[in-house]
Amino acid sequence: MTGWRGLAPAMAGPKAVDLARAGIGAALGLLGAGLILQAVGLAGLIAPFGASAVLVYAVPNSPLAQPWSVVVGNTGAALVALVALAVLPPAGWTAPLAVGLAIAAMLALRALHPPGGAVALLLALAPPDRWDLALATIAAGSGLLVGIGILWNRAFGRAYPFRQPAQPGPHGTTDPMPQARIGVDPADLATILDTYRQSANLGVADLARLVGAVEQAAAARQMEGFTAADIMSRDLVTVSPDTALGSVAELFRSRGFSSIPVVEGDRLLGLIFQIDLIRRAREDAFRKHHSLLAALMRLIDDHRATAPRAGDILQDFGARVAPETPVGTLLPLLSDGGAEAVPVVSGQRIVGIVTRTDLVSALARRLAQATG
């Protein structure tokens, strides 16, 4: 029975949104590409474009679906097939050889795209009258499928093209995210993919994300049994929404806090971070043509009748957890979720707060216990 399991579906069952995204996207992509091709006087759709649409719209993360693979793969395969037809004698083995040469060319160009094999076979079996028209149709059609695919996938929140040069992170720098800075080097990942002959199926970026997820899951497992209630700060200093920002600034200075909860009674309204004061002062300086220092001093001047209050600048970013929330759940929130602190609430009442410092301290203690 074990051997028959290899014949079962290898892919996980898709969600409804994935079905809609792939099916509707492919239909719209092919429709748009066909209309534009005909409008500019080219031949229109060809059968291999349907296979390209499967990759671009159903599995946009695949290395085989990236723009370089689609456009260069299809066009390069077409050119190789046409050259093969021109130099080889007409025979039963010409078309298979043209496809084989096209595959070798795609591999050499690092543009492997399975529909390229269909492009080569189509041209070998039904040679076009005009090479230029055939190549223009294939190149333009592939480019249009990719262009529409970029718009469609991004409309659904999916990054396509998936593999990009180093992009600025949330801080505008090219540093990797904090959780990715200690781990397997990208060069090592590339070597692993080459060693196991998986570079055509999985990209370095994909594997890095999987490895990062596994490492994060392992770290969460190390913290099994610990909850937010175990590591949170309980003796909280809070302010009301009517608290003057001068008083808030003094709490930051005297207590060394990085964030302060804003409450109304026992109900949590949000948090104020030190950066919120600077951000508001910067906005005021820009709007009123003041220096940043002058705007900041004016912001925290409690004697002004119209001085802003804590409720004017608080952040209600929605990241809240319950006391029983496992510490492992806090890892993504505080490492790459953009939160410097996460309030712990029971109903609407704040009962504690977990900062990045609290989390790092807990992880360090757990590591010391495990290695001691």
Q: Does residue 208 contact residue 187 with C-beta atoms inside 8 Å?
A: no
pLDDT of res. 265? 83
User: Is the model more confident about 338 or about 96?
Assistant: 96
- Spacing of C-alpha 115 from chain mean position: 26
User: Is the model more confident about 262 or about 206?
Assistant: 262
259 forms beta bridges with 273
Q: Where are the domains of the chain?
A: 13-155, 178-222, 228-371
The conformation of residue 353, written as its DSSP 8-state character, comes to: E
> Is 26 a residue whose pLDDT tops 90?
yes
- Spacing of C-alpha 96 from chain mean position: 40
Q: Does residue 241 contact residue 309 with C-beta atoms inside 8 Å?
A: yes
Q: Range with the lowest mean pLDDT among 45-59, 104-118, 290-304?
A: 290-304
pLDDT of res. 165? 45
Mean pLDDT across 70-91: 94
> Is 50 a residue whose pLDDT tops 80?
yes
In CATH terms, the superfamily for domain 228-371 is CBS-domain (3.10.580.10)
Peptide bond into 161 cis (omega under 30): yes
**Locus of tokens 């043209």:** 98
Q: Does residue 354 contact residue 342 with C-beta atoms inside 8 Å?
A: yes
Query: Could you give the strand order of the β-sheet that contains 259-264, starting from the edge strand earlier in sequence?
Result: 259-264, 267-273, 349-355, 341-346
The DSSP-derived string for 182-197 is SS--HHHHHHHHHHTT
With cut-offs at 50, 70 and 90, classify the pLDDT of residue 2: low
Q: Range with the lowest mean pLDDT among 190-204, 235-249, 258-272, 306-320?
A: 190-204
Q: Does residue 87 contact residue 113 with C-beta atoms inside 8 Å?
A: no
> Could you report the per-residue pLDDT of 133-181, keeping only the tens digit for each?
999 999 999 999 999 999 999 898 887 887 554 555 554 555 555 555 5
> Is 77 a residue whose pLDDT tops 80?
yes
Calculate Rg over the CA atoms of the chain: 29
pLDDT of res. 210? 75
pTM for the structure as a whole: 0.59
State how far the Cα of 207 lies from the Cα of 186, in Å rounded to an integer: 9
User: Is the model more confident about 307 or about 243?
Assistant: 243
State how far the Cα of 102 lies from the Cα of 201, in Å rounded to an integer: 19
State how far the Cα of 117 lies from the Cα of 48, in Å rounded to an integer: 9
Q: What is the dihedral of CA 197, 201, 207, 211, to 10 degrees?
A: -80
Q: Does residue 118 contact residue 51 with C-beta atoms inside 8 Å?
A: yes
The conformation of residue 346, written as its DSSP 8-state character, comes to: E
Contacts of 10-17 with C-beta under 8 Å, sequence gap 24+, read 17/156
Q: Range with the lowest mean pLDDT among 15-19, 170-174, 186-190, 281-285?
A: 170-174
Q: What percent of the chain has pLDDT over 90?
A: 38
User: Which CA distances in Å does 245 have to 37, 109, 209, 309, 326?
Assistant: 61, 61, 41, 5, 34
> Which tokens in the block code for residue 63?
């290395």
With cut-offs at 50, 70 and 90, classify the pLDDT of residue 283: confident
State how far the Cα of 76 lies from the Cα of 92, in Å rounded to an integer: 23
pLDDT of res. 176? 58
> Is 131 a residue whose pLDDT tops 70?
yes
> Could you report the per-residue pLDDT of 188-205, keeping only the tens digit for each?
777 887 787 776 666 676
pLDDT of res. 110? 92
> Is 207 a residue whose pLDDT tops 50?
yes
State which H helix or E strand residue 264 sits in: strand 259-264
* SS3 (DSSP) at 7: helix
With cut-offs at 50, 70 and 90, classify the pLDDT of residue 214: confident
Q: Is the dihedral of CA 285, 289, 294, 300 positive or negative?
A: negative
> Is 280 a residue whose pLDDT tops 90?
no
The conformation of residue 320, written as its DSSP 8-state character, comes to: -
